[in-house]
Amino acid sequence: MTGAPIATEREESLRPGCFITFEGGEGAGKSTQIAKLAAWLRAGAEGREVVTTREPGGSPRAERIRAAVLAGAGKPYGPFAEALMFAAARLDHLATLIRPSLARGAVVLCDRFSDSTRAYQGAAGGVDAETLAALERVVVGATRPDLTLILDLPPEAGLARARQRDRAAARGPDRFEAEALGFHQRLRAAFLAIAEAEPARCAVIDARGTPESVAQAIRDAVAARLPHLARGAADAA
Instruction: Give the residues lining the site for ligand Z5A (CB under 6 A).
Output: 24, 26-32, 54-56, 70, 86, 111-112, 116-117, 120-121, 161-162, 165, 174, 176-177, 210-211, 214
Q: What is the Cα–Cα distance from 99 to 143, expressed in whole angstroms? A: 8
Question: Cβ closer to ligand Z5A: 8 or 164?
Answer: 164
User: What are the CA-CA distances from residue 85 to residues 56, 58, 72, 77, 80 (Å)?
Assistant: 9, 14, 11, 11, 9
Question: Cβ closer to ligand Z5A: 49 or 63?
Answer: 63
Question: Cβ closer to ligand Z5A: 149 or 162?
Answer: 162
Q: What is the Cα–Cα distance from 157 to 41, expressed in whole angstroms? A: 29
Q: What is the Cα–Cα distance from 171 to 224, expressed in whole angstroms? A: 39
CB atoms within 10 A of CB 111: 20
Q: How far is the CB of 39 from ligand Z5A (least distance, A)?
A: 14
Under 8 Å between Cβ of 205 and 148? no
Question: Cβ closer to ligand Z5A: 123 or 147?
Answer: 123
Q: How far is the CB of 64 from ligand Z5A (least distance, A)?
A: 15
Backbone dihedral angles phi then psi of residue 202, each to the nearest 5 degrees: -110, 145
Q: How far is the CB of 127 from ligand Z5A (least distance, A)?
A: 11
Question: Cβ closer to ligand Z5A: 106 or 139?
Answer: 139
Q: How far is the CB of 227 from ligand Z5A (least distance, A)?
A: 26
Question: Cβ closer to ligand Z5A: 15 or 30?
Answer: 30
Q: How far is the CB of 31 from ligand Z5A (least distance, A)?
A: 3
Q: How far is the CB of 14 from ligand Z5A (least distance, A)?
A: 27
| Nearest one of 236, 232, 237, 228 to 17, comparing CA atoms | 228
